Amino acid sequence: MKKVSLLIGSLLLGSMLFAPLRAQQLSYPQMFESPPNSPDYNPKASYEGPYKLNTWSIAAHFGPTQFFGDLREYDFFPVTGNTNDTHSEWGTFQGGLTLNKQLSYLFGLRGDVSLGNLTGMKRRNYFRYFKGNYVDASISGTLNLKGLLLGPTKMKHWKIDAYAGFGMVWYDATAYELGSGRELRSTDGTTNDWMIPIGLTVNYELTKRLDLGLDFRVNNTNSDFIDATYGGDYSRSPNDGFNISQLPTARKGNSALDKYGYGSIMLTYKLGKNPLRVSKVDGKYTYDPEQGGYYHLRYTDPRLLIKPPKILTMEEMDSVAKANRPPDIDPKLLLDSDGDGVSDFFDKEPNSPAGSVVDGSGRVIDFDSYVKNALANGALCAEIFANVMFDTDKNEIKPEYRDMLNNVAALMNRSGCRLQLAGHADRRASDRYNMALSRRRVEAVRNYLLNEAGLKDQSKIIVDYFGSFKPIADGATREGLMKNRRVELRLLP
């Protein structure tokens, strides 16, 4: 049952370590959708931020080991010295290599391989000591505690990681009687079992390439035979009824599973090209990723490399506006001397009579003549304008406009021409009244085209009305008021 609990615990621990990492990876595209400001942009990176960073490192570690199990005299202090009933628990050693991959500023992976030896003793009940050797390999998830608790801007050159994972241990051990040194139990060669490593690493960034640190680890094994002793086997007879080959390499008896650990000095070499190390300028840490190198993700939160937006002062904004102001427009482009809607720069007839209908070059066009010519020669429709004028407060069509409207209807029946009508009034009434009056004038022209001029397709007429809101002449004069009482005809192809 305890095996199952240990397995479930390890799975939960792994989920706690890697679930935030996965969430962080999924959120990356949503957090940084703006274009990167570096040619070294890495869109496939698992970490957030627009710049590439170095992420790999390799480390060597070495230091003393300590066993925790049946053959351990005290919980915290190892026995020193050798006597008739004592065997030193000092003098054990381990060494190994660690390969690190930083996945984000907070999360990473490490693979470990190490080898070493173990020893321990127990006077009470067992009266024996053991010596053993081991090789282990594991993979663990790491959590940057310094970054998580203190943030990325404190203790810039320190890295404190907690880690947990899964691995295998291969070991051989022999247990001896205290005093006599007789062999009592043995693993009969090398055996193996799985383990769960848990540890803490403290590193300091010495240079762009090297870190110096301490690594403390406890390996929880699925075996009670690391010390060649099962819990409750108190016999002092050599292999008395005991055959290791017939027993499982799991816990058996009345003791807990064995553990072993170590404290190591760790020297880390950061891999990657053109390494950079953050430095202080005027008492402040500054990053400059565009100087031709790469910071390491072990010590750098990528979000610190994003340049904050500059908030301009009013003087700076005014200076930028002046620097980017386009050149002045030629006054001829803005001047329309004859008021025909074509600037003097393009106007071929800059002195057209007021109210004239002109083409795109400013040349006067007679609307009625154009319509008659189009009827006679089968010309295609072109965009051209004309006005039907009205008396004060009236909407009756004057006789002088009826021939023109008849020709327009004939042209529209023969071709695909359309006609846009826009009604207007002078300003001598309320806005509400003028809107209604301009509408009646448009309807009068429309009805004449359909009912008297013989226009067959009423869908070719587009109707709008604006009251007195769009005058074309000065409403303070009698002549201006007359020009504003109109329906504009716009012939469309």
Report the 10 Å Cβ neighbour count for 7: 14
The answer to whether 98 touches 269, Cβ cutoff 8 Å, is: no
Residue 341 lies in a domain: no
Asked if residue 212 and residue 84 are part of one domain, the reply reads yes
- Which of 99, 116, 122, 106 shows the shortest CA–CA distance to 219? 116
In terms of domains, do 226 and 373 share one? no
Render pLDDT for 384-439 as a digit per residue (tens, 0 to 9).
677 888 999 999 999 988 988 888 888 888 887 888 899 999 988 888 999 999 99
Which parts of the chain register pLDDT below 70? Answer: 1-50, 240-253, 328-346, 353-362, 364-366, 368, 376-384
* Residues 78 and 147 reside in one and the same domain: yes
Residues 373 and 292 in one domain: no
Decide if 238 is inside a domain.
Answer: yes
Determine the Cα angle at 177 with ends 171 and 183, to 5°.
55
Please tell me the predicted confidence (pLDDT) of residue 443. Answer: 95
Do both 145 and 241 map to the same domain? yes
Tell me the three state secondary structure of residue 44.
coil
CATH value at residue 424 = 3.30.1330.60
Residue type (1 letter), 155 = M
Domain annotation covers residue 115: yes
In terms of Cβ atoms closer than 10 Å to its own Cβ (0-12, 13-18, 19+), residue 356 is middle
Count of structural domains, the chain: 2
DSSP-derived secondary structure for 301-353: -GGGGSPPPP---HHHHHHHHHHTPPPPPPHHHH--TT-SSS-TTT-SSTTPP
Inter-residue contact 133 to 77 (CB < 8 Å) = no
**pLDDT tens string 13-32:** 444 444 444 434 333 333 33
Q: From start to end of 24-64, where are the E strands? A: 56-63
pLDDT at 71: 94
Alpha helical stretches, state H, 134-275: 145-150
Q: What's the CATH number where 205 sits?
A: 2.40.160.20
If asked whether residues 231 and 370 sit together in one domain, one would say no
Domain check: are 113 and 259 in the same one? yes
Domain endpoint, select from 261, 281, 305? 305
Query: 424: domain range?
Result: 366-492
If you search the block for the tokens 């070499």, which residue do you land on? 269
Examine residue 326 and state whether it is found in any structural domain, yes or no: no
Predicted local distance difference test score (pLDDT) of residue 318 = 80
User: What pairing do the DSSP bridges indicate for beta strands 107-122 and 128-144?
Assistant: antiparallel
Look at residues 305, 320, 345 and tell me which one is the last residue of a structural domain: 305
If asked whether residues 301 and 370 sit together in one domain, one would say: no
Kindly state whether residues 131 and 237 are assigned to the same domain: yes
- Tokens 């002549």, located at residue: 479
Residue 330 lies in a domain: no
Specify if 253 maps to a domain: yes
Q: What pLDDT score was predicted for residue 488? A: 87
Whether residue 329 lies inside any domain: the answer is no
Query: Which residues are CB-contacts of 148 (< 8 A; sequence separation ≥ 6)?
Result: 106
- Same domain, yes or no: 272 and 380: no
Which among 286, 305, 324 is the end of a domain?
A: 305
> Looking at the domain assignment, is residue 351 inside a domain?
no
The answer on 374 and 280 residing in a single domain is no
- The answer on 416 and 269 residing in a single domain is no
SS3 395: coil
Helix (H) or strand (E) holding 370, with range, is: helix 367-377
